[in-house]
Amino acid sequence: MTAPDDHAIQLRNVSKVYRIPAKGRESFLGSMTVMFDALLGNYGKRHGTFRQFDALEPLDVMIGRGESMAIVGRNGSGKSTLLQIIAGTLRATTGTVQVNGSLCALLELGSGFNPEFTGMENIYLNGAMLGLERKRIENKLEDILAFAEIGEFVDQPVRTYSSGMRLRLAFAVITAVDPEILIIDEALSVGDAFFQSRCVRWLEDYLERGNTFICVSHDMFMIQRLCRRGIVLDDGRKAFEGDISDAANLYYRLHGKGAKVGGRLLDKDEPADEEDKDDEDDLVSVKDEAGWWLLNLRIKERTGNQQVTIEKVWTQPNLQEGIPSGKWLKVKIQVRAREPIELFHFGFGFRDRSGQLIGGYHSFYEEKSVAIESAGQGKIITCEFKLDLKPQMYLLVIGLAINHTADDWQDLDCIWDCAKVLVTGQETFWGLAPLPMRGFTAEDL
């Protein structure tokens, strides 16, 4: 079916209902019995009925030609189900799906590969499945191999490949197919940083040529770079559709405890996904009566001699909500000295995921310092920072040091990557740092 006019994808009233066993699995033995009965077709007789499970409640989705759309949400919220329905690999229970243009989907990594064939044989096999004639593949072979960069492995059976190598090959074939609509389900996350950045550059060029891109990812950094719009799914329902930074904000709110969406309060004890367990649970901030949000610091990397230590950090507004680029962030830091100290400096910075410090303040450069007169005494430092930062995810660094010069210092206490900070909004400058400009003229000759 084709979608009319300027739509690449048009979904109307699309839903997905699965039939699942009504009875839960109580024990290993019980679940094996259930499995055998299901295989033998006896399930209904011995274990009662099946129940219906709404993996996706009826929703409409319109994606225009040349649009880049991300689908985000917690584990099990229905993202892959929706993507598979759009890709045509899963039939919707209700509704219609219209696609206008050639479509390629990178869903399950290497699903288009025969594991016994070599990489080279699979290039031809996969290319043919995606509609590339042999002659065209031959013409593009050099580019495919250059993109995949798997060297001699191309002559080895694909079963010997790592998931990263499978991704390299699969993505390289897609670059040769160059479809009008490309769908990717989380696949890029298995690539190494260098390959990811090559894919991102290719995708940026792909979008600039007016193509359509739809992806599912938990990687807010990546999706904010690539997608303009986002759909947030929550429990199989469309909780939001709109600007990508708003979608990312909502995604992060849903990952916070007690977040409310669509009238349903998420259960505090709901199991978090892997990403949650690692980072997000540590980051739940608490608001005090004065409106300060106490940051629950994630302390994994801490340096310094601890002569003075960082005890608590508060912010306004709440870092977990996402901070719009260009806004001021109020910070309050409680420190305590083990012994008197005449003078020390403090720093506050934002690193990107590669560890590069993108924006930072160090009081040494402004000749601002703090002193603590007696052992055990505490001090509260408050200040405000203007977040002239590119909208993306950052990791916060807070440090105390005695700086003699810019290059000669002694670390007292530095907590690296102690919180995630999502800077939201539209990009207002080019590159990593704004370059103030003045004196612009454009005159006729």
Residues in contact with ligand ATP by CB under 6 A are 18, 20, 53, 55, 73, 75-81
Q: Which of 17/125 has CB closer to ligand ATP?
A: 17
Least gap, CB of 129 to ligand ATP (angstroms) = 23
Least gap, CB of 222 to ligand ATP (angstroms) = 15
CB proximity list for 415: less than 8 A, separation 6 or greater: 297, 299, 301, 302, 310, 397, 398, 399
Q: Look up residue 157 and give its DSSP letter.
A: B
Q: Which of 53/328 has CB closer to ligand ATP?
A: 53
What is the torsional sign of CA 311, 317, 319, 321?
Answer: positive
Q: Look up residue 364 and give its DSSP letter.
A: G
Q: Which of 21/425 has CB closer to ligand ATP?
A: 21
Q: Which of 20/128 has CB closer to ligand ATP?
A: 20
Residue with tokens 């912010």: 315
Least gap, CB of 185 to ligand ATP (angstroms) = 8
The answer to whether the bond into 317 is cis (omega within 30° of 0) is yes
Least gap, CB of 196 to ligand ATP (angstroms) = 19
Q: Which of 80/245 has CB closer to ligand ATP?
A: 80
Least gap, CB of 262 to ligand ATP (angstroms) = 15
d(CA 108, CA 61): 23
**Which residue, among 180, 175, 167, has the nearest Cα to 140 in the 3D structure?**
175
Least gap, CB of 50 to ligand ATP (angstroms) = 10
Whole-Å CA distances, 397 to 204, 349, 358: 30, 5, 11
Q: Which of 15/80 has CB closer to ligand ATP?
A: 80
d(CA 372, CA 308): 9
**Which residue, among 320, 323, 329, 317, has the nearest Cα to 257 in the 3D structure?**
320
